[in-house]
Amino acid sequence: MTLAELTLPSPRVVLIGSCVTIVCAWLVLDFAVRDPETILFGFIALGSDFLVRNLTSGRFTDVYWPVVVGVKLFFCVLFFFIPAFGLQRLGRERLSPNAVSLLTFGWLLFYLATLTFLFNLRLLFRLL
């Protein structure tokens, strides 16, 4: 089987489906794990909490935790979407739609890996 024989969804469908997958994965990780294990997870989780606490107050953040979760979801999707959209724009000019979909799917797998196990946060703390 070659890439030409492989039939994948359109790049737009892959991008939208990937964003939904990122949201579902983030919610599972945030509610089940709740301990930032990777640099990307920690950056999104701690950065969102820091942003909401500084824009409102600590008490607001503690009471209205769905606001913090919403900000985390926004940043998680944003950090995935901007590179994925850029890859699609660059790939659209030079690659077939199947190759662009495969490229987006590859970015999804790498992003999920950086959220879950790549780039361990504890190693960064040891270096500091």
Domains in the chain: boundaries? 35-127
From the list 34, 70, 68, 72, the residue with the least C-alpha distance to 52 is 68
Residues 109 and 15 sit within 8 Å (Cβ to Cβ): no
pLDDT at residue 4, rounded to an integer: 62
pLDDT in tens, the chain (128 residues): 665 666 777 778 878 888 888 888 888 887 887 677 888 888 888 888 888 888 887 787 778 888 888 888 898 889 888 898 888 888 788 887 778 888 888 889 998 888 888 887 777 777 76
From the list 119, 110, 107, 109, the residue with the least C-alpha distance to 37 is 119
118 phi/psi in degrees, rounded to 5:
-80, 150
**Quick one: tokens of 46?**
């701690």
Contact partners, residue 75, CB within 8 Å, separation at least 6: 44, 47, 48
Tokens 């979801």 belong to 73
The pTM of this model reads 0.78
Q: Mind listing the pLDDT tens digit for each residue in 52-62?
A: 888 887 787 77
